[in-house]
Amino acid sequence: IYNILMAPVETILNEKKEEEQLSTNPHPYYRSWWFSKLHHSWISELLNLGSKKTIEANDLYDLLPENESRLLTDSLEQSWKLEVNASLEKNRSPSLFRVLIRTFGRKMLLYGLYLTVLECLRIIQPLLLAHMLSYFKQCSVISTTEAWLLAFVLCLIAWISVTVRQTFFDNTHKLGLRVFIAHSGLIYRK
């Protein structure tokens, strides 16, 4: 009885040991701080290595856990099974769109918040610029200090806009790749 009960546990432990043995070059993304993640400076070590020699397979970083095909495919397959069961109960055909929303919807909403912030900044920027330009009128009520402060805020908004836009594009690109990987894995399982 003990062997029967412990066989699945031993299998899982052996798989984890094999994964740990395969892990030769841990990804620096999780070790880096937020500014490094935001501006992708965590990859500079690999780029420096590439400028000195040809990069080989053992120089590359291990795959991030959230990009693993098995996990993504399992998640999509589980959502698909739930959708098939729900569609049978409601007498409708299963929807891949609903499956995608169930599997990746939270990330999509989070990235939608990036766009909301970006649009708010795009609205605020011209208003602040118009207010700052009123400093150059002859009978301006804006002080020099306030004009400098507005100029600083405009520069800050421009930097934040670029950073948020790049983060949005980077994250949506990663999400698209994860969706592609999950679909490909599900197709290969069939």
Query: Do 45 and 132 have their domain in common?
Result: no
Question: pTM value?
Answer: 0.73
Q: Which of 62, 81, 104 is the last residue of a domain?
A: 62
Query: Do 89 and 165 have their domain in common?
Result: yes
pLDDT single digits (tens) 20-32:
555 578 888 888 8
b/e 120-152 (16+ beta carbons within 10 angstroms → b):
ebeeebeeeeeebeebeeeeeebeeeebeebee
Residue 91 phi, psi (nearest 5): 55, 50
Task: Quote the number of domains for the chain.
Answer: 2
Query: Do 32 and 122 have their domain in common?
Result: no
pLDDT single digits (tens) 168-190:
999 999 999 999 999 999 998 87
- The domain in which residue 50 lies consists of 1-62
pLDDT single digits (tens) 63-120:
888 889 999 999 999 999 999 999 999 999 999 999 999 999 999 999 999 899 999 9
